[in-house]
């Protein structure tokens, strides 16, 4: 287990790419629907309850939020999408900002896509997967809230999603995850270690 993630700290929030930190080093972006548990996952992976703000109102992440792991490595919390009760114009602005970030950010080295295990592969999730195919960016899927189903049902969903993604033309890995029970954290750290080029 790499404890470097526990020293993560909030850097800044950007409403457009020009406000983002310098485009250097390596960056992993966390994407997912507004209520999929993205902020909870970031907090669990860094062992910091208040690092990424969790809101009872889905869709509060309306900016690109940057977290520094060390001088050369960052997490980016992308705006949650598809659930929040916000005007269409605002949604379009988020979408444009995310598109620009995903297309133009050289430091981006992988996407962690967070899906609620009970509602996987929404239209938004499929868009992200297609985008990763298009750019050939490695993708790691967290099926979150695994504590909400019994182990057998959770495993079945994992296998179903795996099967549906079997012909996706990009490196995709997926796993069960629970922020509440802290299950699956070491598995995510292993993936991040590879992407971030941490040597054993």
> What pLDDT, on a 0 to 100 scale, did the predictor assign at position 135?
86
Highest mean pLDDT among 86-90, 94-98, 157-161: 157-161
Token look-up 């299950």 returns 183
- Mean pLDDT value across residues 95-121: 92
**How would you list the strands of the sheet with 64-70, edge to edge?**
9-14, 64-70, 73-77, 26-32, 108-116, 139-144, 172-176
Residue 90 has pLDDT above 90, yes or no: no
> What pLDDT, on a 0 to 100 scale, did the predictor assign at position 55?
58
Residue 184 has pLDDT above 70, yes or no: yes
- The encoded tokens of residue 73 equal 């490595």
> What pLDDT, on a 0 to 100 scale, did the predictor assign at position 1?
56
Q: pTM for this structure? A: 0.92
- Mean pLDDT value across residues 132-160: 95
Token look-up 């999730």 returns 125
Percent of the chain with pLDDT strictly greater than 70:
92
Residues in the chain: 200
3-state secondary structure 73-132: EEEEECCCECCCCCCHHHHHHHHHHHHHHHHHCCCEEEEEEEEECCCCCCHHHHHHHHHH
Mean pLDDT of the residues in the chain = 89
Residue 17 has pLDDT above 70, yes or no: yes
**Which has the minimum average pLDDT: 1-5, 42-46, 52-56, 184-188?**
52-56
- Mean pLDDT value across residues 90-118: 89
Ordered domains of the chain (ranges, CATH): 3-196 (3.40.50.300)
């Amino acid at each position: 287990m790499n404890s470097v993630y526990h020293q993560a700290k909030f850097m800044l929030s950007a409403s457009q790419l020009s406000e983002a930190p310098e485009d250097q080093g390596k960056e992993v972006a966390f994407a997912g629907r507004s209520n999929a548990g993205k902020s909870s996952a970031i907090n669990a992976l860094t062992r910091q309850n208040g690092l990424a703000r969790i809101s009872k109102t889905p869709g509060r992440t309306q900016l690109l939020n940057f977290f520094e792991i060390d001088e050369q490595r960052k997490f980016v919390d992308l705006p949650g999408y598809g659930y929040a009760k916000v005007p269409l114009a605002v949604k379009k602005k988020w979408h444009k900002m995310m598109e620009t970030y995903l297309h133009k950010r050289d430091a981006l080295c992988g996407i962690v896509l967070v899906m609620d295990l009970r509602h996987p592969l929404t239209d938004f999730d499929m868009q992200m997967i297609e985008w990763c195919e298009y750019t050939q960016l490695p993708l790691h899927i967290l099926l979150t809230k695994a504590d909400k189903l019994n182990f057998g049902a959770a495993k079945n969903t994992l296998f179903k999603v795996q099967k549906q993604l079997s012909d996706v033309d990009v490196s995709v890995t997926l796993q069960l995850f629970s922020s509440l029970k802290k299950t699956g954290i070491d598995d995510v750290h292993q993936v991040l270690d590879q992407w971030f080029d941490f040597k054993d």
